[in-house]
Amino acid sequence: MSGQTATIIGTASAAREQPPASLVGPWAWARRNLFGSWWSSAVTILLGYLIVRWAWGFIDWAVINAVWSVPVASNPLDTAAPCRQMAGVGACWAVIGDKWRFILFGRYPYDQQWRPALCILLFIALYGVSANRAFWRKELLYIWVATLAVIAFLMWGGVLGMDYVAQDQWGGLPITLILATFGLAFAFPLAVVVALGRRSTQLPAVKFLCVGYVELIRGVPLISLLFMASVMFPLFMPEGLNPDKLLRAQIAIILFAAAYLAEVVRGGLQSLPKGQYEAADALGLSYWQKTLKIILPQALRMVIPPLVNNFISFFKDTSLVLIIGIFDLLTAGKVAMADPTWTGFSTEIYLVLAAIYFVFCYAMSHYSRSLERKFSRARNR
């Protein structure tokens, strides 16, 4: 008898836990959000029509009518003839087939291009390893140093029977990855130090220096910093002591990125409740113990989204080195477009460049979201 009652109550409450089927599922969602009123239905239909039309037009151009390859012509200027017949109707992916090695590696000696290719893979492997929390320990630092050393060694060569390749012959994706990776790897720690310095109450001189640095750098656009690095800086340097152009651009990017990241980190430091500092003080932790064990781990977790936002934007900002003649991915693409054989097919090249940038940036943002989820789970449940 009592068992029966319990069953009845059980089903009744179970039924109440689950909303009726008409309220869940994709159809219910669509009805609620897309067709809630005649006005929203009208907007949905109009936008839906535009999206479908545009998408169809794009597929038509990019896939159905596209020219994927062209036969070798006796006159190089005629190579693109099959593409030109389809101009405006179909995409000419043949230009990518012909130019991809130039876009990826720039003017790096053709028969040596396995070296920058290997560097790209090393960079990607490095990102992959760093993203894995199981590797978040001291050894990761050594992995970074070793990998970056191997990359430098592969790019320059000159030993172990590899030809020496001067830095002004480097180009394409490795340059973009070098600028972004070294840039952020140095800018981030610098930013943390500057942010800490800016909040220092004990050392007013340090604080003044940090505030001055951040305000000065934030006050100028990256382009002018790059110009300064490439044009003005050599004027002040003694003869013979002139670091190469890539290094100067790299330093400009580091200084620029660090100023912005420092402000993000400072936001994180400020958002920590005062009680955390007091508890650490009361336990007798020293400034650095408190900072490294209590303050930074929490402050940095809190600012993951804006940090990654900045990372993504600096990754793309490295393309500004175009204006001082450094041969990064975008520059290589622009030079490829200027090839007389393939004039008129810049859209295809731009699309490929955009896709490459997108892959890296999307990976960053995807990773940051997973990181946020992990941290919030560890803290709350």
Partner 1 sequence: MSQTNEAPEAAIVLDRVNKWYGAMHVLRDVSITIGKGERVVVCGPSGSGKSTTIRCINRLEEHQQGRIVVDGTELTNDTRALDTIRREVGMVFQSFNLFPHLTILENCTLAPIQVRKMPKAEAEELAMSYLRRVKIPEQAKKYPLQLSGGQQQRVAIARALCMKPKIMLFDEPTSALDPEMIKEVLDTMVGLAETGMTMVCVTHEMGFARQVANRVVFMDRGEVVESGTPHEMFENPQTERLQTFLSQILRGH
- Where do contacts with partner 1 occur on this chain (CB under 8 A)? 273, 275-276, 278-286, 289, 293-294, 297-298, 301, 378-381
Q: Which CB sits closer to partner 1, 160 or 282?
A: 282
Tell the smallest beta-carbon distance from residue 280 to partner 1 (Å).
Answer: 8
Q: Which CB sits closer to partner 1, 199 or 316?
A: 199
**Other Cβ atoms within 10 Å of 226 Cβ, number:** 22
Nearest residue to 195 (alpha-carbon basis) of 55, 320, 307, 93: 307
Tell the smallest beta-carbon distance from residue 282 to partner 1 (Å).
Answer: 4
Q: Which CB sits closer to partner 1, 143 or 272?
A: 272
Strand partners, 92: 67
Q: Which CB sits closer to partner 1, 207 or 301?
A: 301
Compute the distance between CA of residue 178 and CA of residue 106 in angstroms, rounded to an integer.
14
Q: Provide φ and ψ at 328, rounded to 5°.
A: -85, -170
| Contact yes or no for 164/156 (Cβ under 8 A) | yes
Q: Provide φ and ψ at 92, rounded to 5°.
A: -110, 85
Q: Which CB sits closer to partner 1, 67 or 295?
A: 295
Q: Which CB sits closer to partner 1, 41 or 286?
A: 286
Tell the smallest beta-carbon distance from residue 196 to partner 1 (Å).
Answer: 18
Nearest residue to 251 (alpha-carbon basis) of 230, 268, 276: 230
Compute the distance between CA of residue 330 and CA of residue 354 in angstroms, rounded to an integer.
9
Tell the smallest beta-carbon distance from residue 131 to partner 1 (Å).
Answer: 20
Tell the smallest beta-carbon distance from residue 190 to partner 1 (Å).
Answer: 24
Tell the smallest beta-carbon distance from residue 302 to partner 1 (Å).
Answer: 10
Burial class (CB in 10 A: 0-12, 13-18, 19+), 260: buried
